A and B are shown apart, each in its own frame.
Chain A
């Protein structure tokens, strides 16, 4: 979308033109949903947050500074909406004991680039607190101080949550590799077993017939 066209859409949305609102929504749907998916457990929750974010976009277009990138503005709104959602659900947030996320000592990352769905699934499997900090720090580039201010937590908690998030992700990656490996060695075992049977059975028959 060209800049002029975007400005027309923004202007139409300012005047609550429904057609322009839909066009803008469609234009930034993937971008906004991508952000929201990273901060949530599933697509349904992401969709709820994304729509809340777009509502803020449509109702705050007058505050948009046209000299700044619109996409970044929308992204920030989506992220803030996701964080607000996280805050409002703190009571039900899953808090995992740090001991449970032990260092698996797996420093090697898989050589192949994993499917984005796999990566997203791993992120979404993280507890809310870990996932939020990991997203803010790793993907969105905020410092621990900024994260602490945004989430009303201490810097230490932010660091701790990031650590735990990493450990969990490592574990998930290891599990994924192990699963792949297991699926590969199983085949080999079957092959060995069948071969042994094929070798062993004639050998036994020979012993018996003697």
Chain B
């Protein structure tokens, strides 16, 4: 378990580093979306291009979604996901603790044998 914890911490640290390094290495870069870079490329290849369909929400709003609201919705998406994962993970963790207490784990076959 402690070996696992160490692995997890190292992996997470690596992930954070990979994400943050470009931010410091490329000061002043715009960090726009690469999806947008894709549309720029389409125009380069194809000449002026007019998208033939506007996103439903933009039609309803009569314009682009305000940046702050967009980040709100992105956060909602993250929140839903994290909530579900955290809920089940919490249950699993408690269950394992409980099983250990009642000695049920022995019948399970020791989970450590799996690794």
Is chain B a partner of chain A in the same complex?
no
